[in-house]
Amino acid sequence: MFKLRRKLAMLIIGFLFLLTNAIAYAGLIKGIYINQGTMQDPKQLSYLINRAKKVGIQTFVVDLEQPSSVYQKNVALLKNNGIHYVARITVFPGGGTPEQIHSESYREKKLKLAKTAIAYGAEQIQLDYIRYSSKQPPSEQNAKDILKIIAWFKARISVPLQIDVFGISSFGPSKWIGQDIKLFSKSVDIICPMVYPSHYEPFRVHAVAPYDTVYKSLMAIHGQFDDKRLPFKLIPYIEQSNYRYPLSREKKLAYLYSQIQAAEKANADGWYVWSPHNYYDTLFQVLETRSVK
């Protein structure tokens, strides 16, 4: 009888954990990107966790390039602080060659990383650079090739799948790199368009119009589906600063705040902020001092 009660109690605790997790993910997702170096630096990681918790950031998207005991230990640190761990796997750094795209043995190595991340406790897997090199000749077949790879991963992992796509694909298929949001839509759970204003041309125009750049990109995605309910969650990547266009401190705050406002106005399911070196004090200040959902 005691064993039965204990088992029942454990089942209830497990159910409550899953329910709490589902509720947390049901709201607006607020996340930041973390590279593996930061993940393995307990001091910097603890600083980011403490600051993030105070401003409502509940998700860290973390690179996994090389498994390690320190990395695994710090996944537990995230979870103990109520931070969701999404593992980011770079599939084809710089974009894939035809040989890499069609190599299942190449894919197997990336799948092994994804499965390691899940074993560490990843709640979702995010695939980045899942595309052809921009040097690839344009063809409608390119996106079909990438779709096959996405579906291959989807069939082999046990958690929700996210993919990153270039901001330009918000406006329609990119026949060079093989990214087509509408084509990919039924094979993924979350799509993360990288709508960084610094990546749009002419960059000087977009650098001073971050709201319009992000908002128009995300609304264009809705337009690809005739403004019907999207068959996936939409969580764009926005950038903390514009590396191509220097801004004052105050303008940096406004630049980031405008992107957050645009993502929320476009009915995104949340946002991830990108800083390659994981310096997020600008973001923390924005969330501490300005009205954000």
- pLDDT exceeding 70 applies to what percent of the chain? 90
Distance between start and end Cα atoms, the chain:
48
Between 7 and 130, the higher pLDDT residue: 130
Output the pTM of the full model: 0.89
pLDDT digits (tens, 9 = 90+) for 56-115: 999 999 999 999 999 999 999 999 999 999 999 999 999 999 999 999 999 999 999 999
Question: pLDDT category, 227, cuts 50, 70, 90?
Answer: confident
- Check whether 8 has a pLDDT greater than 60: no
Rounded Cα gap, residues 150 and 161, in angstroms: 9
Question: pLDDT category, 159, cuts 50, 70, 90?
Answer: very high
- Check whether 4 has a pLDDT greater than 80: no
175 and 99 Cβ atoms separated by less than 8 Å: no
Whole-number Cα distances in Å, 231 to 107, 135, 191: 26, 31, 10
Predicted local distance difference test score (pLDDT) of residue 13 = 37
Range of lowest pLDDT (18-32, 97-111, 228-242): 18-32
Rounded Cα gap, residues 239 and 86, in angstroms: 18
Predicted local distance difference test score (pLDDT) of residue 10 = 42
Rounded Cα gap, residues 251 and 174, in angstroms: 32
Cα-to-chain-centroid distance, residue 179: 16
Q: Kindly list the structural domains of the chain, giving each domain's residue range(s) and its CATH number in brackets, ordered by start.
A: 30-289 (3.20.20.80)
Residue with tokens 């088992």: 7
Question: pLDDT category, 290, cuts 50, 70, 90?
Answer: confident
- Check whether 210 has a pLDDT greater than 90: yes
- pLDDT exceeding 90 applies to what percent of the chain? 83
Cite the DSSP H helix spans in the chain: 2-26, 36-39, 42-54, 69-80, 98-101, 104-120, 140-154, 181-184, 203-207, 210-224, 249-265, 281-289
Structure tokens at 10: 């454990």
Question: pLDDT category, 17, cuts 50, 70, 90?
Answer: very low
Whole-number Cα distances in Å, 56 to 40, 266, 270: 23, 20, 12
Instruction: List CB contacts of 27: < 8 A, sequence separation 6 or more.
Output: none
* DSSP letter, residue 290: S
What's the whole-number mean pLDDT along residues 134-156? 97
Rounded Cα gap, residues 197 and 28, in angstroms: 22
Predicted local distance difference test score (pLDDT) of residue 244 = 84
Predicted local distance difference test score (pLDDT) of residue 5 = 53
Question: pLDDT category, 121, cuts 50, 70, 90?
Answer: very high
- Check whether 26 has a pLDDT greater than 50: yes
Rounded Cα gap, residues 119 and 83, in angstroms: 17
* DSSP letter, residue 277: T
Structure tokens at 1: 């009888």
Predicted local distance difference test score (pLDDT) of residue 1 = 53
Rounded Cα gap, residues 270 and 201, in angstroms: 25
Radius of gyration of the chain (CA): 19
pLDDT digits (tens, 9 = 90+) for 185-205: 999 999 999 999 999 988 888
Predicted local distance difference test score (pLDDT) of residue 15 = 42
| Strand, coil or helix: 128 | strand
Whole-number Cα distances in Å, 88 to 29, 68, 110, 162: 16, 15, 11, 9
Closest CA to 118 of 91, 89, 142: 89
Predicted local distance difference test score (pLDDT) of residue 24 = 41
What's the whole-number mean pLDDT along residues 246-258? 93
Predicted local distance difference test score (pLDDT) of residue 204 = 86
What are the counts of helices (DSSP H) followed by strands (DSSP E) for the chain? 12, 9
